[in-house]
Structure 1
């Protein structure tokens, strides 16, 4: 498929051919759901912890006699029946992360890229960087494509200068072509893809590489 390439000033320069195997696939909602769920699960810290009656601090003495008081029959103040007692079947630290098949994850990325390329959300822009590393210089460029909206910039490599300029923009995130995140791509309201990143994505997600 063909997409227009824009300058950093928002002017049309030329067209670029995007690989149909990466940017023109039918939507597969199932793999998108699995990929996003997997990413969110892997981000969970899993540090929630409650104390059982064996871990709660308190006396082991029986608070009152077994019969004759009309109260519940319990052994000590650490019972789950008491305020401040232990918790029954409460959460304990655990690892929520899990892995999904690589082919499934790659298909999810290609499906999302295809969805965005077939709409106005994805825009191809000529390669640029922010040599000054200043936020205001990057904002001038972003205002030509997306203003005060959730934006993702797809980079050809790990560009430290542009990331330095964008770290103070809360609605902006950066992704390298070989380290995509399904959650960011799916929920972005605007995706700015550098021209060289488009070529790298086509090569990185080529079917021939999957077959190896």
Structure 2
């Protein structure tokens, strides 16, 4: 797949060939769903907690006699059928995280990249950074490619300066080429791919395929 490479000023510089094994695959919607669901589940805190009748504070005394009142028999005020009593089958702290096969996760990332490339949402930009770490300097670059839409920037490495410049931009996410997130990639309306990151992605997935 051929893509144009743009300068940070938005001018066309050259063309680059994107690896069809990463950006030209048929889109597998099922595995994308599994990957996104897995990421969301792994982010859940799982701290919701309710008290059972044994944990509710209150008297153990029988509130009224067993027979003759016309009410249902009741052992104590902590009964779940009493106002302020315990909760039946309520949530308890738990771990919602689980793992999916590496091959499935790898296929999901390549499917999303292929989907975004085929939808013409991927823009390849020459390598750049923001030495000042200032948001206004990063916005000068981004405004040449996006207009107030959810954007993902795929970096060639863990660039702290550019992340510092973009942390105040609400609709912007940064991903390193070797640590992609399915949720951010899939819902990004525009994917800005640094030129070196495009090459690194090809090498990264090629090495993984050879290691299988």
Deviation at 1:148, TM superposition (A): 1.2
Contact 1:5 1:195 in 2 (8 A): yes
Structure 2's unaligned 5+ residue stretches are none
Partner SS for 1:41: helix
The DSSP-based 3-state class of the residue aligned with 2:149 is coil
Equivalent residue, structure 1, for 2:185: 185
Give the drift of 1:45: 0.4
User: Matched residues in 2 for 1:47 and 1:209: separation?
Assistant: 36
Q: Deviations over 1:162-186 (max 9, x none)?
A: 0010000010010000000000000
Q: In 2, distance between residues paired with 1:67 and 1:146? A: 75
Alpha-carbon distance between aligned partners in 2 of 1:77 and 1:209, rounded to the nearest angstrom: 61
Deviation for aligned residue 1:144: 0.6
Matches of residues 1-212 of structure 1 in structure 2 within 5 Å? 1-206=1-206, 208-212=207-211
TM-score under structure 1 length normalisation: 0.98
- Cα distance in 2 for residues equivalent to 1:16 and 1:94: 47
Matches of 2:96 and 2:166, distance apart in 1: 31
Counterpart Cα distance in 2 of 1:30 and 1:118: 18
CA displacement, residues 57-89 of structure 1 (integer Å, 9 cap, x when unaligned): 000000000111111111000000111100000
Secondary structure, counterpart of 1:205 in structure 2: helix
Please give the per-residue CA displacement for 1:10-39, whole angstroms capped at 9, x wherever unaligned: 111100011110110001001000000000
TM superposition shift of 1:56:
0.2
RMSD, matched Cα: 0.8
Shift of 1:209: 2.5
- The 2-side partners of 1:211 and 1:11 are apart by 37
The ranges of structure 1 where at least 4 consecutive aligned residues each deviate by more than 4 angstroms after the TM superposition are none
Secondary structure of the corresponding residue to residue 199 of structure 2: helix
What's the CA shift string for 1:71-115, capped at 9, x where partnerless? 111100000011110000000000000000001000000000011
Shift in Å, 1:211: 3.8
**Preserved contact between residue 5 and residue 12 of structure 1 (Cα < 8 Å):** yes
